[in-house]
Amino acid sequence: MKKYLLIGCSILFFGCNDGDLQIETVDFDSIEIVQSCDTVSATTENVVFKINGDEALILTIASGLLKNEVTASSLESAVPGSSQISYRIFSETVTSAYFCDSPPPLTPTVLEEIEAEGGNIIVTTTTEDSVTFTHTIQLSGITFLNENGSRITDLQVNEFGTVTTTAE
């Protein structure tokens, strides 16, 4: 009987791990600045990101979603699909140098990266001078599924931010 008790206690002791990351929300609403390493273009795929301390939300926007013309209605791109969204947690505060330097710095390191499993990127384009176009990017119904199988879903439409392009 002691043998079974010892085995049972061992399983409980070694089976628990308080070191696992538990993500309950992905919130970048308070961060207003949308960053990009390259000039955002209406003719190519674009990677834009927001940084919140040791977290980053990275959008890969499909070519053609940003247009140098005013849109009467919003354009949408499904995630995953032609557009992607990634959420990363780093070992320490991250800066744009991590994304823009080649090669990237050795620190911080990525502790966890989660790809969005569903949702939409919604873009509305306006202009004031027919040369510079402002693209308002919104995220809708974004769902992340981490390696533990926990689902993080935001069913609201949230404003990600704005980027500008210039007619060439």
String of DSSP letters for 9-71:
HHHHHHH--TTS--------TT----B-SS---SSS-EEEEEEETTEEEEEEEPTTSS-SS--
At residue 15, the pLDDT reads 52
Distance CA 2, CA 28 (A): 52
Distance CA 35, CA 112 (A): 21
Q: Looking at residue 109, what DSSP letter applies? A: P
At residue 23, the pLDDT reads 53
- Count the Cβ atoms, other than its own, within 10 Å of residue 117: 15
At residue 18, the pLDDT reads 43
At residue 11, the pLDDT reads 57
At residue 36, the pLDDT reads 96
Token pair for 142: 């974004």
Q: Would you write out the chain's pLDDT as a tens digit for each of its 168 residues?
A: 555 555 554 555 455 544 444 555 677 888 899 999 999 999 999 999 999 999 999 999 999 999 999 988 999 999 999 999 999 999 999 999 999 998 888 899 999 999 999 999 999 999 989 899 999 999 999 999 888 888 887 756 689 999 999 987
At residue 17, the pLDDT reads 47
Closest among 112, 119, 115 to 137, alpha carbons compared: 119
Q: Which residues contact 69 (CB under 8 A, 6 or more apart)?
A: 125, 133
At residue 155, the pLDDT reads 59
Distance CA 89, CA 146 (A): 12
